[in-house]
């Protein structure tokens, strides 16, 4: 899953010369500009000390208390990955190529300021913002240009200079969560560039600031984590010699709802729960591959899970969840499972599928989190008259299915396929594949497009399916 946090303040500070090539802009404030800027200029002025160097650095801060609250409320799990994202702003000036940007944690509180002028540096701080010398009011940085912690640090390489900054800053955010004071990030060129050692100018890399009119170009701190639930009740396979031992395990889930809320079973709490498998409800109990009964536990509040393994030729099973492995133990739930059998094929299967979004709405409210379910079947599937007349077709589910979201009117990618941290990987349960989406991250009153990509065992790559689903996000006026 993905969650984004907006910055609470940002600024560009600089020691560049103004047009006179005499006075440096060390007192200039640019906190209200809609652009953030990094540059290094070498050799504009020469003196007995050698050639001059000029520089611009970016300061940006996010609200740690909001992140900590989401961790406490289990909205964001501990151990998630954090990425600082700044979006490239195209411009008509010289763009640097083949350079690095370094991100450090700022050491010391600072103010944003009210300045706008990034050309002539005419907006001075006057004690109300940060600049090259001052970090807040009349309080100076210990070192001109801003104070940072040397570690942890992160670096991203740019080849064309037109790339976005998309940098893993997990260790820095974790240091704040662990107790270091959060004063945000500084984005700068490496010291080897700005101290004149490189003897080359890097002018100028620009990003959109938090005040930008472009919603999806504003900086964000993006949290990514693998939130997938893979409930094999709909994808249960009997043990087979065709599969590795680990692939013979099937994970089952039990959801304990009371008055519409997930809650722990009082007699179980966070302790173990036990699962037996029968040929039918009230029938004969099977001996499982590992333990009989299987021992499960709490996944999260009100959700219990257990891994089971069974060698059987039965087409269906009944799973019984109970309080202990003792005779007469209290039973909490009896479910049903359709068993699949592993088979070998003479060719690799194709990703030729028909997909539809189940229970889709025309409009979704922007202050909500919604779950999107998908019905999937093979394209050449043809039911007989008995299947059509007596039952609803069963959806197929896939373990390596990812989603992508774009804004339709601009064809702008909001969330791209993430096959690294798997934050866009779809879950599945007995109703099919699904994912949850926090709609507060989408700009309201626009239409969006969901696309899906499935890993192909033939090409060993992710192939985009032909499926496309449109939905609109609107403000809730009531």
Q: 421 — phi, psi (to 5°)?
A: -90, -5
State residue 378's pLDDT score: 86
Task: Inform me whether the pLDDT recorded for 242 exceeds 70.
Answer: yes
Mean per-residue pLDDT, 278-282 = 91
pLDDT category at 347 given cuts 50, 70, 90 is confident
pLDDT category at 389 given cuts 50, 70, 90 is low
Least trusted range by pLDDT, from 30-44, 278-292, 347-361? 347-361
Write the CA distances from 138 to 110, 112, 116, 131, 263, integer angstroms: 11, 14, 20, 11, 53
Calculate the dihedral angle through the C-alpha atoms of 67, 474, 372, 332, rounding to the nearest 10 degrees.
70
Task: Give dist(CA 184, CA 192) in Å, integer.
Answer: 23
* Second-level CATH architecture of 236-340: Sandwich (2.60)
Q: What is the mean pLDDT of the chain?
A: 92
What pLDDT, in 10s, does the model give residues 200-240?
A: 899 899 999 999 999 999 999 999 999 999 999 999 999 98
Burial group, residue 348, by CB count within 10 angstroms (0-12, 13-18, 19+): exposed
Write the CA distances from 82 to 3, 299, 443, integer angstroms: 10, 23, 22
pTM for the complete prediction? 0.91
State residue 160's pLDDT score: 96
State residue 241's pLDDT score: 84
* Diameter over CA atoms, the chain: 95
Give CATH for domain 353-474. Answer: 2.60.40.1930
Task: Inform me whether the pLDDT recorded for 348 exceeds 90.
Answer: no
State residue 228's pLDDT score: 95
State residue 435's pLDDT score: 97
Q: List every span in the chain annotated with CATH 2.60.40.1930.
A: 353-474
What pLDDT, in 10s, does the model give residues 118-146?
A: 999 999 988 889 999 999 988 999 999 99
pLDDT category at 459 given cuts 50, 70, 90 is confident
Task: Inform me whether the pLDDT recorded for 387 exceeds 60.
Answer: no
State residue 7's pLDDT score: 98
């Amino acid at each position: 899953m993905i969650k984004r946090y907006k910055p609470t303040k940002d600024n560009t500070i600089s020691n560049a010369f103004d047009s006179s090539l005499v006075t440096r802009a060390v007192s200039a404030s640019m906190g209200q500009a809609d652009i953030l800027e990094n540059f290094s200029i070498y050799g504009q002025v020469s003196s007995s000390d050698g050639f001059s160097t000029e520089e611009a650095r970016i300061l940006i801060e996010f609200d740690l208390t909001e992140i900590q609250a989401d961790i406490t409320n289990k909205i964001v799990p501990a151990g998630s990955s954090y990425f600082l994202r700044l979006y490239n702003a195209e411009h008509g000036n010289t763009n640097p190529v083949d350079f690095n940007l370094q991100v450090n944690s700022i050491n010391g509180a600072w103010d944003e300021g009210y300045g706008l002028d990034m050309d002539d540096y005419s907006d001075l701080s006057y004690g109300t913002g940060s600049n090259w010398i001052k970090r807040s009011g009349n309080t100076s940085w210990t070192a001109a240009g801003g104070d940072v912690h040397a570690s942890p640090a992160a670096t991203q390489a740019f080849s064309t200079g037109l790339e976005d900054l998309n940098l893993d800053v997990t260790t820095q955010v974790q240091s704040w969560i662990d107790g270091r004071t959060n004063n945000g990030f500084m984005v700068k060129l490496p010291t080897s560039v700005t101290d004149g050692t490189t003897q080359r100018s890097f002018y100028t890399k620009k990003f959109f600031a938090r005040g930008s009119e472009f919603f999806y170009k504003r900086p964000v701190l993006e949290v990514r984590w693998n939130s997938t639930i893979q409930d094999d009740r709909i994808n249960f396979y009997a043990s087979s010699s065709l599969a590795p031992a680990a692939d013979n395990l099937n994970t089952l889930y039990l959801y304990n709802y009371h008055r519409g809320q997930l809650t722990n079973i009082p007699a179980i709490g966070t302790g173990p729960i036990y699962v037996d498998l029968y040929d039918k409800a009230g029938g004969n109990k099977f001996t499982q591959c590992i333990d009989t009964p299987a021992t499960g536990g709490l996944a999260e509040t009100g959700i219990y899970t257990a891994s089971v393994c069974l060698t059987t030729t039965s087409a269906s099973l009944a799973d019984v969840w109970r309080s202990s492995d003792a005779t007469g133990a209290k039973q909490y739930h009896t479910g049903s499972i359709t068993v699949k059998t592993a088979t070998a094929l003479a060719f690799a299967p194709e990703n030729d599928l028909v997909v539809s979004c189940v229970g889709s709405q025309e409009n979704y409210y922007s202050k909500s989190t919604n779950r999107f379910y998908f019905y999937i079947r093979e394209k050449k599937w043809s039911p007989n008259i008995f299947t059509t007349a007596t039952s609803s077709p069963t959806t197929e589910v896939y373990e390596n299915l990812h989603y992508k979201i774009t804004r339709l009117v601009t064809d702008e990618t909001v969330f791209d396929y993430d096959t690294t941290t798997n934050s866009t990987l779809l879950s599945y349960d007995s109703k099919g594949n699904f994912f949850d989406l926090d709609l507060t991250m989408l700009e309201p009153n626009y239409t969006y497009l969901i696309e899906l990509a499935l890993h192909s065992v033939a090409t060993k790559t992710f192939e985009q399916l032909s499926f496309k689903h449109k939905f609109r996000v609107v403000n809730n006026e009531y």
